[in-house]
Structure 1
Amino acid sequence: MYTPPAFRDDDQQSLRATIRAARLANFVTATTEGPLATPLPLYLDESEREHGVIYGHLAKANPQWRVPPLGDGLAIFMGPDAYVTPSWYATKQETGKVVPTWNYVAVHAYGPVEFFTDPGRLLQVVSRLTDLHEGERPSPWTVSDAPADFIQAQLRGIVGLRMPIARLEGKRKMSQNRAAADRAGVASGLAASARASDRDAARLIPREDLLAGSA
């Protein structure tokens, strides 16, 4: 991932928070048949190894798990993102030398890929993913709510994914390269947006020097 120094995120807590918050990731492998990619819900088990282990599952009919990967796999996790119009920049009024851009948060996790079909391990992965995404619902559904024989039949149709994280890359592009007045304009513009993702991005615009200047 191309990451200029101004946008590099090396903070492990920040990177893991982005992974935990991402509801859907993209799992990518390089193969002799070309790159293969599948959108997947994944979760991070932070208790394993130094950087944690990524778990998930894909359909057994998906050819990605049958084609041996060349080198490490890649899981791409996206955080908030937003289009930034030049109209929000104070610089637009001063010089007009501005162009549109896109603000976003991304984490790339790399590691060796393991696929497995053991029913016990698959049940654990499915249960953890379910609990993760059902946890905030007022009446969470659990895997045990379905008949056990039905769940076992469903497990036969999927393949588990385990990827110990060997390396993490983080990018947080939130207008850090702009002057304080431009960043204030971006934060204000995004905060007023009807899009929830824009408002989430607004809260990530660096404001330390802006707040200091108003004190």
Structure 2
Amino acid sequence: MQTPSLELKGSSFTLSVLHIKHQDLEKVAQELDSKLAIAPQFFLGAPLVVNLSAITNGDYSLAGLKDLLVSRQLVIVGITAAPSAIAAQAKDLGLAIIKSGKQSDNQPQLPKTTKIVKQNVRSGQQIYAKNGDLIVIGAVGNGAEVIADGSIHIYGSLRGKAMAGASGDKNAVIIAKSLDAELVSIAGQYWLTENLTEHSTTQSGCIRLDGDSLSVEPLAL
């Protein structure tokens, strides 16, 4: 019996959803560049579904938006929640039209794995714990990035960037023995050094989401 040359199977993949909330592409470009500057290597080549529910103008240039994202090395795989006129543009551009799933009040499932790093993370290094928590037994230096779909635990000083809940888990936390970070982020909400200094006087702390804002509380170590 001849072996088939292809096989079609159902599967599921995690895709990031980019919500476009302004029709001015120049303004979108400025804000996008600001976001990408936070962790450029993490977003390079990232497949995106673009949510256009906030765009009501049927003359909106989807081709212009696609060119903008491609120029930043992002990849549009499809659009969702778009007016019919924009959906027609998507077909001409070869983009999929993806129906939004039912909204759920439940938070994303808890991480399934834990990645443990027993070393200092140095400038220029990036460590990503996909679908799980990240534990760093060591320091995260200036210019280093640690990213996790779940929570991040650092048993040392955090001086670089830490991004927890990268796939949208709002229950994720960042815990560090010493907080002096360039940036901390949970589910897309972030603080820079000056924000962290403004909201915290503690050396060791736990950063979590409180509604749509970050908060930090001291640890009893």
> What TM-score results when the alignment is normalised by the length of structure 2?
0.25
> What TM-score results when the alignment is normalised by the length of structure 1?
0.25
Ranked by relative contact order (alpha carbons within 8 Å, sequence separation 6 or more), the top structure is: 1
Bigger CA radius of gyration: 1
Higher normalized helix content (fraction of residues):
1
